[in-house]
Chains A and B, each alone.
Chain A
Amino acid sequence: DAGVIQSPRHEVTEMGQEVTLRCKPISGHDYLFWYRQTMMRGLELLIYFNNNVPIDDSGMPEDRFSAKMPNASFSTLKIQPSEPRDSAVYFCASSLGGGDSDTQYFGPGTRLTVL
């Protein structure tokens, strides 16, 4: 399997623009997670899905952030409008199940810079 795929790898945009990050989980995995990584706050869980349904979005920082999973092989994280403080690396991860020992596999991340 190719692993978790994210696109784009790098995104530079201007404040106020809409940004869409994309993720393709590992085939057969039922759980999908979106994380944000910054120097100040480390790795934070934003939202996760089970069988395409959002389960917990309590980590989504503001209404400017939204995430969807229209099918088992695709998810998007959208920021509208973007702000400089949204600059971070965004990771997508997937896991086969939700059991205590189920491993989450991470994608390479999207480095977002908002000017």
Chain B
Amino acid sequence: GNSVTQMEGPVTLSEEAFLTINCTYTATGYPSLFWYVQYPGEGLQLLLKATKADDKGSNKGFEATYRKETTSFHLEKGSVQVSDSAVYFCALKGSGAGSYQLTFGKGTKLSVIP
């Protein structure tokens, strides 16, 4: 079946530091890949997505590239801010008929300190 593995947190960074959160996946076919962000006390919000190999999703300074050869979708940001403190979830949606559900990683908690 499908699965997503994320680096374990928590991750603590100073403001303006570079961020990488690793995500690898196992899936058959050609899944779509997503990063969701959950701020304290809130639901999940879509941060970015990529639907095919070599696509790059980007939003709010965050980027992730769909690498089929390494089955990875690592999240990066060049300069984090305190407001980026949240839990980040990598997720995939399988391809083909009936593949409507998202499979999530465990989440990585990011804390950015001034």
- Indicate whether A and B interact: yes
A107 near B107 with CB under 8 A, answer no
Number of B residues, CB within 8 Å of A: 25
Contact A100 B51 (CB under 8 A): yes
CB contacts under 8 Å to A, within B30-70, are 30-32, 34, 36, 41-46, 49, 51
- Secondary structure class of chain B's binding surface, majority of residues: loop
B13 at the interface (CB under 8 A from A): no
* Chain A interface residue count, Cβ-Cβ cutoff 8 angstroms: 24
Using CB atoms, name the residue of chain A closest to B4.
A42
- Residue of A42, A48, A108 touching B101 (CB-CB under 8 A): A48
| Partner-B contacts on A (CB < 8 A) | 4, 31, 33, 42-43, 45, 48, 50, 55-56, 91, 93, 95, 98, 100-109
> Which of chain B's residues has its CB closest to A104's CB?
B102
Query: Nearest A residue to B36 by beta-carbon distance?
Result: A106
